[in-house]
Amino acid sequence: MQKLQSFKARTGEPLGAPLMACTPEQVDAAAEAAAQAFVSWSASNGATRAALLRGLAAALESDREDLVALADEETALGPVRLNGELDRTAFQLRRFADIAERGVPFAFTDDPAVPGAPPVGHPAMVRQRVPLGPVAMFSASNFPFAFSVLGGDTASALAAGCPVVVKAHSGHLVLSNRVAGLIPRVLKSQGLPAGLISMIQGSGTDVGVRLIRHPAIAAGAFTGSTRGGAALQAEANGRPRPIPFYGELGSTNPVVALPAILATKGAELAATLAGSIAQGCGQFCTSPGVIVLIDSPQDKATNDAFVQQLTTALSAQNPHAMLTPGMRQAFDAGVVHMTAAGAHPLVKEAGNAEAPRPFLAQVNAVSFIAKSALREELFGPSSLIVRAESVAEALDVLQAVGGSLTVTLWGAETESNDTRALARGAMNIAGRVLFAGVPTGVAVTAAQQHGGPWPSSTQPMTTSVGDAALDRFLRPVCLQDAPAWLLARQGQPC
C-alpha cells in the first residue's frame, strides 16, 4: 500500500507520520456509500440541510487554534491569512445553510393548464430541480480551508442535496485528515449516514481518476491546474455515461490601465498592484498576471513612469515560501521559460531556499500575441507588462489571453468609444470585470461569478464561488399533469 508524506512548507521537513493512500476498494466504497446516502439526502428538506451545514461550521470554529497552527506548518500562509480563511469557510457553510433553509434548491415554476389545442393550449406543468447525485470534489492547494474538505464546493453540493466524496490535496494532507475527522461526529449527532461526506487520499492517477470514473459519481468539482483539470474532464467525458465536470483552472487576470488614471494615481496604483501580485506568494487563482498599458505617443512617458513605480514597489515585496517544493520548482522554471520566450526582466532577483523573489517582465503586444509561451499562467509572485500601441491592439491582447476569471479596467469611469470597446472586450473573455481595486479577493455573494471561458474554467456558465454555485448540482425536471401528492411537496424531491 502506498505511503503518503506531508511536509512543512517553510523547511521541507516531514510533518507527522506517513499516511496511507486509499486502496481502489476504499475509493469504490466511498462512492458507493455516497450513493446510498443520496437516497435520503436528496429528499431532505431545507432545515435538515441547514442544520448539517451549521454544525460543520461550528465544528471548524471549535478546533480553530489547532487547525490554523497545522495549516500554517503545511502551507506557510500565516496565521492571519489562515484565520481569515477559516472565517470565510464557516461563512460559506452558514450562507448555504441559509440558502437551503429559504427553499432556494426547491424553487419551482408553476405553469397551469391552458384549455385548447397547441400551441396555445397545453397540459399543467411544473418545472423544478433535482440533485444530480454524489459529487467528486477535488481540493485545491492554495486555499486549505475555503477550497478544501469543507470548502465552497462541499457546502454548495450539500445544500443542493448531493453527498460529497472529497479527494484531499497532497499539499495539506495532515490538515485535511484533521478536518475530515470533525465530520463523523457532526453526522452522527444529527442521525445522518456516514457516507454523506467522506474523504479519500492518494495520487491523482490511482485515486482521483478512479473516483471520477466510478458509476455512482454524478458530477465532479475541481480547482487547480489546467493540465490536471483537463485530464479529469476528459475522464468525466469519456465515461460510458458522461457526467458534468466543473473545473476552475488557469487564469492570467489581465489588468488594463488607461494612461489618464496613471497620470494622477500611478504611484498609488503601483503600490496596490505590487501587493496584489505578491499576496499569498502569488498563489491566487485571481493573481494579476498580465498588465496592459496603452502607449499612444503622448502617453508613453506616463506609462514609463508607472512601470518604474511598479518595479520599485514590487522589488520591496517579500513573499513567503510557496505551498510545495514542486510549485517552487515550477515557478523557477516558468521564469526561465518566459525570459527565454522574449520577456524583458524588470524585477528578477535570485530567491533563497525558503522563498522566491517577485518576478516582473515587459514585452510588446505583438510578441505577446505571437508567442503562446508568454501567455501561460506563471503561478507565483509574478506579472508581465504588455505594451500596446492602441486600444485596438490592447483588445487584441485580451483576445489572445482567451478565457480569464477576471479582467480589471482602470480609468474607464467616463463613457467613450474606447471605454465601451474595452468593457465589451473584457466581458467577452472574463467571468468578472472590475473597474476599481485588484482581482485578488473573491467575495461570497449573490452576484459573484467565479468562472469564465476556457482555460479559466470548463463550464463558463457556472460559478464556483457565490450563491449561484448551488446551481451546478441541480438538474431541471418538468412534471406534467403531476398528481396532487407530488405537487404538495412544493419542489422538494421525493
Phi/psi at 255 (5° precision): -115, 120
Active site members: 248, 285
